[in-house]
Amino acid sequence: MPSHLIDSKLLGARYGTEEMRRIFDDENRVRQWLKVEVALATAEAKYGLIPSQALEEIEKNADVKNLNFESLRDGIQTTTQVLMPLIKMIITGE
């Protein structure tokens, strides 16, 4: 059951477009979060705050296609944090 007007089969077209839905869908949202985390890790590696091997692992794991969205959802529900489970996944590759 839709909980927001843009998800409504009856009214959704009045309040949003398919393009907008693609921008705000979970996969794209996580993709954008991953870009930020890779940029942060790149800067940290540049200044010696993390080893270059850590950056390589983060870059390798920071692909939305490699993520288990069910595990991510469970991690978010367990921790009540949005990014911590994602960061753990890209650091550990799990």
The pTM of this model reads: 0.81
Element (H, E) at 23: helix 18-24
**Residue 50 token pair:** 């993390």
Check pLDDT > 70 for residue 1.
Answer: no
**Which residue is it, tokens 């869908």?**
25
3 confidence band (pLDDT: 50, 70, 90): low
Thinking of the domain 26-92, which architecture would CATH place it in? Orthogonal Bundle (1.10)
- H-helix segments, the chain: 12-15, 18-24, 26-46, 52-61, 69-79, 84-92
Size (the chain), residues: 94
pLDDT (tens digit per residue) in 27-63: 999 999 999 999 999 999 999 999 999 999 999 999 9
What does the angle CA 49 – CA 78 – CA 43 come to, to the nearest 5 degrees? 15
